[in-house]
Amino acid sequence: MKKVAVIYWSGTGNTETMAKQVAKGAEDAGAEVTLKPVSEAASDLVKEAAAVAFGCPAMGAEVLEENEMEPFVAGLSQAELGGKPVGLFGSYDWGDGQWMRDWAERMKGLGAVVDGEGLITQLVPSTEALDQCQELGKRLAG
Ligand SMILES: Cc1cc2nc3c(=O)[nH]c(=O)nc-3n(C[C@H](O)[C@H](O)[C@H](O)COP(=O)(O)O)c2cc1C
């Protein structure tokens, strides 16, 4: 069974809602899924997974959340991500998605095979956005 890890940070629950749907999509597609807030995730989880989804909202000024998510992402290397399918997702509000474009480029720079341009949704994810989250999970499981 293909292992998929879903690792996220969420302050007010919007990205967490997305994470749960990504995990559901992957599970429904037959993957063995581990869903963890980043505070409980070890980098081994990334290494051992065949595909990984990372979720984080736009924070600061168009950056990842700085206390937990940023250090975790900064600790990732080509050894864990090279050639690996990676899905990125997160909620935002007033920006234009710059944090996600930067994040996707960063992950590609480590050799990750990033799904599309990352999945972003404004504030509370709509039904359509939640469907897209499930589809992302399915692609990562496939
Ligand atoms: C401290 C802080 C900084 C934020 N910075 C940005 C930003 O730079 N760009 C943006 O589009 N939204 C920004 N937001 C809005 C959040 O991305 C938005 O509220 C999102 O839905 C939060 O997701 P969460 O519920 O998963 O925490 C910020 C919110 C907070 C609290």
At 81-130, the pLDDT tens digits run: 999 999 999 999 999 999 999 999 999 999 999 999 999 999 999 999 99
Given this model, what pLDDT does residue 98 score? 98
Q: How far is the CA of 2 from the centre of ligand 1 (A)?
A: 32
Query: Pocket of ligand 1, candidates 10, 15, 70, 92: which has the most ligand atoms within 8 Å of its Cβ, to mutate?
Result: 92
Ligand 1 pocket member 59 (CB < 6 A): yes
Taking domain 3-141, whether its CATH number is 3.30.2320.50 is answered by no
Ligand 1 pocket member 11 (CB < 6 A): yes
Is pTM beyond 0.85? Reply is yes
93: helix, strand or coil: coil
Torsion of Cα atoms, 45 then 51 then 57 then 61, to 10°:
90
Residues whose CB is less than 8 angstroms from the CB of residue 32 and which lie 6 or more positions away in sequence, other chains included:
1, 2, 3, 4
Length of the chain: 142
Given this model, what pLDDT does residue 23 score? 98
Question: Is residue 76 pLDDT above 90, yes or no?
Answer: yes
2: helix, strand or coil: coil
